[in-house]
Every structure is written in C-alpha cells, then in structure tokens.
Amino acid sequence: EPTLLADYAPFPFTVEQVALTFRLHPQHTRVLSRLSLKPTTEGQPLHLHGENLTLISLSLNGAPLPDIAPDAEGLTIPAALLPATAFTLEAEVEIAPETNTALEGLYMSGGIYCTQCEAEGFRKITFYPDRPDVMAPFRVRIESDMPVLLSNGNPAASGPGWAEWVDPWPKPAYLFALVAGDLVAHSASFTTRSGRATPLNIWVRPGDEDRCAFAMDALQRSMAWDEQVYGREYDLEVFNIVAVDDFNMGAMENKGLNIFNSKLVLASADTATDTDYERIERVIAHEYFHNWTGNRITCRDWFQLCLKEGLTVFRDQQFMSDMRSAPVKRIEDVLTLRARQFREDMGPLAHPVRPDAYVEINNFYTATIYEKGAEVIGMLKRLVGDAGYKAALDLYFDRHDGDAATIEDWLKVFEDATGRDLAQFKRWYTDAGTPRLAVEDDWQDGTYTLTFRQETPPTPGQPDKPPRVIPIALGLLAPNGDEVLPTTVLEMTEGQQSFRFEGLSARPVPSILRGFSAPVVLDRTAPPGERAFLLAHDTDPVNRWEAGRGLAKEVLARMVTEGAEPAADLLAGLEAVVRDECLDPAFRALCLRMPAEDDMAQTLHASGVVPDPDAIHAARKRLQLALAQRLAPVLPGMIASLANNGPFDPGAAAAGQRALRLACLGLLTRLDGGEAATRAHAQAGNMTDSLGALSCLLDAGRGAAELTAFHQRWQGNRLVIDKWFMVQVLHAAPDRLAEVATTLTRHPDFDWKNPNRFRSVMGALAENHAGFHHPSGAGYRLLADWLIKLDAVNPQTTARMSTAFETWTRYDTDRQAQAQGALQSIAARPGLSRDTGEMVGRILKAG
C-alpha cells in the first residue's frame, strides 16, 4: 500500500496543453477539460487520477468513449484505444464545492470558491495525471456570476459572467488555482529590475481591505530581495494573493495566484500581535520565493518535497534575518527546530528529510522536511562558503529551470560548482534521527584538544546510522573573556574525531556549535561556571543565549529530579543580561523566556529520566518566581521605560521592546498578583500588549472581566476571536484544562469545522503540557474524541493534529496507558481516513 521512492517511473505521455472550463455552482460545478497528449513510450495505457468526480462525458479526438468507467482512484484508457501520435482527450465532470469540507480540491470558504491542490487535490477537480513531473501550460475559463474570477498566469479576456486566464509557464497540477468570489483588492505595484511594472493585488472580503498594507509591504520587499540576493525576477504580468478563512495550513504558492489562510495576511495594530506580523512577513516571502524554488524548478515526485520546501524555508529565513535581527531570528529558528523537529525526530514519526515511502503524502509536510530541510542547506552553505553557495545556486537555476528535479540533481550542482564530494553529506537527506554530539576537552602543555563523538539513535526502519558530516563552528575564549580563536568551522566526518589547538597561554573556554551550526544535540557536561561564563562573555550571540538556556535547563532538571533550589549563578547571569542596555531588547526577552515544559520533558527523557509534567510545571513556576524576586527592584522601572505611546510600529526594534516589556510584566505578575497587568491591559493600545497582559492575568488566576470585555469588543472578527479561545486554553491551570476546553467547545462561536478555530482550542489543549498530560487522562480523551469527530469532515487537519500524541511513550506507565487508550479509540473508528489511520498507526507502534 505505501508509495515507494524506488518505484518511480516517468509518465509515458507528455501533456502539451491543458484547457479547462469551470461552470461554477455550489452543488453542481461542471469542469470541462481538454488535454492535448502525446505518447512518449509506445503501447502504454493512459492512467488519469480522479477522486469523487461524477463523469458526465469522455471523448478521444472527438469520439465518445462510453465504455470507460472510473474506479475509486481514476480512469484508465487501454493502449489499444490510443493513437500512436498526439491526441486530444476531453472530459466533463461534476463536483460539489459546497460540501467539500476536507478543504482539498475546489471548495467554498465563506461564500468564496477557492482551491487547494498540493499535494494531490487536483484529482478532486478533474481527471488528470496528478503528479509533479507532468508539467503543462494551462488555459482556464471561469463562468460564474461572482464579481471576481481568478486563476493562474495572465488575464487573457473577460466579459460579464466569465474570465479567461493563460499561464504560459508549464506547471504541475498541484500549482493550479482558481478563486471566484465577492472580493476587494488592496493593490500596489512592483517594477522588476528589467523594468516591468507588475500590478500586485491582495484580494480579501469587503471590510478587510484596510488590514492588507503590511502583507503588501512584505511582498514588495520579498520581490526586491529575491532580485538582489538570488538574482530571481518575477515572471508574469500580475501577482495575486487571496485570503480565505478556511484553510488547512498556512498558505500555498500557486503560480501567480497564492492562496493564504487569512490569519497570514490580515494585520492591524489592534487585531494582530507582533508574532502575527512576523509570521505574515515570513510566509508572504516564503510563498513568493516558491515562484523560483518550487514553481520554475519543481519536484520530480513527492519524495523530493524538501527540494522545494527546505530551500524555500532556508530562503525565507535568510530574508527574515536580513529584514530583522539575524541573531534573534536564528535563536527563534533554533527554538522551533527543537520544539517541533527534534521532538519529531526522537519519536515514532521520525523520517528522513527525503523519505523513501509514504502512505499519505499530506502527512509528510513536516518539521523534518521543512525545518530540518532548511538546516541541511545551512550546513551545505557553511561547508562550501558563501561564494560556493552562490555559484551552486546560479548553476541550479541555470541547469534546472523548467525541470522537475531531485535531491541528486541538487547535490550535483554543489559538486559541480565547488568540486566537493557530497556522498557522505547526502546522509543528512537519507538518514532520519538527530545525532548526539558528545564532547570532551583536554589541556596539556599549551595544547587544547577537543574530542567529539557522534552517535545517532535508531529511528523507525533505520537501526544503524553511519557517521555524518557535521560542521562544528567553534570559537575559543580566554579566561578574561577575550576571544583567542574566532569562529572556525571544524568538519567532523568520523564517528570520533579530535581537533588540536596550539600556542595558547591558558586553558580556553570553548564556544561550540556557534550559530547552531548543525542540527544536533550537544552533550557537554560543562565544568561548573562554564555556562555562566559564556552567558556573560561569548561573542557569538546565539551561543550566548544558548549558554543561558543550557544553564536554565540544568537548573530546572535539578529542581525537578532532586528538589534543588533555583541556582544563584543562573539568576545572576540573567540579571546581568536583562540589565545590559547595550543588548537588543528582543535578545534580552529571549534570554528571559524559560525553557518550555515540553522542551524540559524532551530533555529529561533524552537523558533517561521519565518526565513528570506536574513537577516540571511546578519547578518552572518556582524558577520564574525566584527570577522575579531577584529582578524585583528593576521590573517596574523597565516596564515603564519600555512603554511606547507613539503610533504602532510593527518593525523588529519596536516589537523587541514590547517583548521585553511583556516578559518583565510576566515576572512582575508573579509578585503583585496581577496589579500591574490589570493596568497594562486597560491601557493597551495594540493587540500585542492587550493579549500579553491578558495572558499574565490568566496565569495569575485573574482576568475574567477582561475576557468578557475582549469577546464583546471583538465579536465578529474571526481571527481575534480565535485568540480569545486560544489564550484561555493555553493559560488554564493544568487540573482545570479539560473543563475549560470542554466549556469552550460548547460556546456558540466554536465553529469546529473551521481549522483555525479548531486549532485555537484543540491545538492549544495539546500545548498546555501539564494539562494535556494530566494523570486523569482527561486531556488525551478530549482531544481523541474531537479528532474522531473532525476526521469525518477534514482528514488532513485531523491527521496533523494527531501528532500531539507523538511523545506519549516518554511518560510514566499510567499516562502511557491513558494515551494508548485514547489513540486506540481513534484507530478503532470505522471509516477512519487514510491520513489519520497512517499517523495513529505509526504513533501507536512506539508502544
């Protein structure tokens, strides 16, 4: 049943031209297709994918084919019926967008017709070879009385009730898009470097057009950046973005017509937080960058997904670090990588960056493909250098424009451009699992030696892991804090390897894995004081933060396992950083952020300790209290001095100030029971401050009146009401979580078929670590019951959310039994989707 990388075979026909006509109707949409096909291999039958399509008619070169009946997966025309040369196949099918709750194919969101085809949604629209290596030019005619009718490419002609679009660039079907609705545009333009003035439109529902300016600005900056940094220019006469409220993920890079989850487009000071702004900027850039890395050069098959996703994430990360603070951005990326990808890589869902088998491809849009895929490119760049990277990328665009390419093609351009052999490096693509890097050091006669040992634990289906190439960025500091060795990249290729540094006058302090130069777990039992020293002196900001982080984790671990007291060196180190006005406020805010509870559970589990969620929760609170007490004299002053009463500025500097101010407010709330937060909430002039203060209040067991007022004020704004749901669940006390979440599911605004709303309650439920893993099992059961319910309408979002259970075997046997019961209740559900069935099956195998 699984699809295998090893089974790849080219499609035996080329599609020279696709012409589609859509007669839109909520329940009875007719799709007429005319495919110009040409056999490339003799005597092959023609397989076309198609799912849930009502076939109205089918003809070949004008002659009806009445005897061809589709099965559940599509239709096959036997070789005997096919001409040996070019031919035309015409089909008419009927579909019902209004009842398409899976949000894949053509569906309706708030009265707007829209599509989502990646990975395999086009087969729910018409019969077609729905695979990324079949690329063709599309011509689309839309007939509908909706005022705005959009598809890919360039507008060709239109009249009352119809419009035609022509996309000159051959593309795979997963990049097809169609939108029809009562929409208004926020418009601007961008003049490309060769002087083409290109209209840009962001299409939204009437009333939302005043919340598009930031996304538009991000788009213009993305277009300029891709020209400057990668030499990539936009290639159509118009660029359209549409925001819809019902969307399974973030956004989609359809050629010339990106479709977005509205939460990644709409922003205004009073409705969006700084985190929202940052995400919008990143995702706008990400989808735009796909125009070259994904669309002009696409993937041969879905096993190569990281070819476009890893590279496009890497590009959006570069963009964001150019737009904002590079170290802060890197720290944020490291946090997400560990929270999502390391978690995945250490559990039952671990898979290689390039998998070699899948049951449902939608289940492989993972942190490993995206985030680790980007890390692998970052390592490549470090190994070949900036010039080598640039040469390789130029060659990639040159050689593969118009291709459906593979990871082999990608690595070959690096080999050809730089002369490097990447055979061993390729293991980063083929081998799952996070390497653990142990390090020991030695000092003798003026020579300092670092010895590294790498080991990757087994992952499902991959018991043995040969050594990988690990770029280890290293700096050495003298005891007085001077840097005696500036950042140098050590290239580790063996299972164990030593590196010697001579001519030093004193034993140095090593700063290892600077900039987080490889996605590995560094196992270093640092001598006492080393982390505190690095927190105070490291010249590499990422490692400076990392030192504080490592120290906090060590302290928390001892508090959890030995009942230790919060250590003074951590508190002193954090105080010094927080009070250092030379440091970026965003950086200081990151240093103040305690390790997440799930992160602590992951760390304890990896070191062989069964994590106790309640003990972790309690220890984290105690540490926060101790830090608050230590900082008590400075908190009110900092909160006051960081206040900004001018107009809202969504930029990184102002956002950093807000982040630091809210971090201080969070600490102060531990001391004053919420007095300051109550005032801050009343005075908040933007959503960041409002939601931040509200979170503090909820943590302190207050905020009931504020919650009511918040709902009143924002009724009717779906994105803000999502936050209202989410904040209550995230900040519920662990033993009240299931009750709070259950009550919210009974609220009239809990529209569970809307993925954003569902996630705002159920996603938050799983993120409330101590609450979700409550020993009663109530959190597990509540989520399982809702996943069962959602699966019947939306398998993709259900399967994705089932990953909440991927860590279940970390915990004690009672919790495991509860989680296993919940998982089994999902697995046993008659009619469970393939998506959820695959995920729950893999997760259960860990037991």
Q: Which residues form the interface with ligand ARG (CB under 6 A)?
A: 118-119, 249-253, 286-287, 309, 362, 365
As measured in angstroms, the least distance from the Cβ of 392 to Zn ion is 20
Please give the distance of CA 425 from its chain centroid, rounded to a whole number. Answer: 24
CA 26/CA 3 separation, integer angstroms: 34
Three-state DSSP at 19 gives: strand
Is residue 39 within 8 Å of 85, Cβ to Cβ? yes
Three-state DSSP at 786 gives: helix
CB-nearer residue toward Zn ion: 174 or 724: 174
CB-nearer residue toward ligand ARG: 18 or 251: 251
CA 171/CA 137 separation, integer angstroms: 6
As measured in angstroms, the least distance from the Cβ of 283 to ligand ARG is 7
As measured in angstroms, the least distance from the Cβ of 118 to ligand ARG is 5
As measured in angstroms, the least distance from the Cβ of 30 to Zn ion is 32
Three-state DSSP at 487 gives: strand
Active-site pick, 104, 120, 278, 287: 287
The encoded tokens of residue 101 equal: 């709750």
# of chain residues touching Zn ion (CB under 5 A): 2
As measured in angstroms, the least distance from the Cβ of 249 to ligand ARG is 5
The answer, yes or no, to whether the previous bond of 405 is cis (omega within 30 of 0) is no
When CB distances are held under 5 to 8 angstroms depending on the partner's kind, the choice from Zn ion, ligand ARG, none that residue 119 binds is ligand ARG
CB-nearer residue toward Zn ion: 249 or 536: 249
How long, in residues, is the chain?
847
Which residue carries 């900039």 as its tokens?
Answer: 515
Would you list the DSSP string of 159-225? ETTEEEEEEEEEE-GGG--EEEES-EEEEEEEE-TTS-EEEEEEEE-TT-GGG-HHHHHHHHHHHHH
The set of long-range contacts for 157-163, using a CB threshold of 8 Å and a minimum separation of 24, is: none
As measured in angstroms, the least distance from the Cβ of 701 to ligand ARG is 38
Instruction: Give the footprint of Zn ion on residues 311-370 (CB under 5 A).
Output: 312
Residue type, 355: P
When CB distances are held under 5 to 8 angstroms depending on the partner's kind, the choice from ligand ARG, Zn ion, none that residue 251 binds is ligand ARG
Quote the DSSP letter at residue 6: G
CB-nearer residue toward Zn ion: 118 or 689: 118
CB-nearer residue toward ligand ARG: 175 or 652: 175
CB-nearer residue toward ligand ARG: 286 or 330: 286
Which residue carries 């159920």 as its tokens?
Answer: 762
Phi, psi (degrees; rounded to nearest 5) at 783: -65, -45
Is residue 128 within 8 Å of 98, Cβ to Cβ? no
CB-nearer residue toward ligand ARG: 294 or 611: 294
CB-nearer residue toward ligand ARG: 363 or 511: 363
Would you list the DSSP string of 666-683? HHHHHHHTTHHHHHHHHH
Residue whose Cβ sits closest to ligand ARG: 365
Is residue 445 packed enough to be buried (19+ CB in 10 Å), middle (13-18) or exposed (0-12)? Answer: exposed
Site mask, Zn ion, residues 47-86, x = CB under 5 A? Answer: ----------------------------------------
The encoded tokens of residue 54 equal: 């009502």
CB-nearer residue toward Zn ion: 15 or 285: 285
When CB distances are held under 5 to 8 angstroms depending on the partner's kind, the choice from ligand ARG, Zn ion, none that residue 832 binds is none
Instruction: Give the footprint of Zn ion on residues 297-316 (CB under 5 A).
Output: 309, 312
As measured in angstroms, the least distance from the Cβ of 305 to Zn ion is 9
Q: How far is CA 749 from CA 101, 267, 720, 726, 791, in A?
A: 18, 21, 12, 13, 20
As measured in angstroms, the least distance from the Cβ of 279 to ligand ARG is 12
- The closest alpha carbon to 289, from 215, 368, 229, belongs to 229
As measured in angstroms, the least distance from the Cβ of 840 to ligand ARG is 18
Annotated active-site residue 287? The verdict is: yes
User: Residue ranges of the alpha helices (H) in 563-596?
Assistant: 568-579, 585-592
Give 8's contacts (C-beta < 8 A, 6+ positions apart). 300, 301, 303
Please give the distance of CA 554 from its chain centroid, rounded to a whole number. Answer: 29
- State the greatest distance between any 2 C-alpha atoms of the chain, in Å, as a whole number: 89
- Summarize as ranges the residues that interact with Zn ion (CB under 5 A): 309, 312
* Residues with catalytic roles: 287
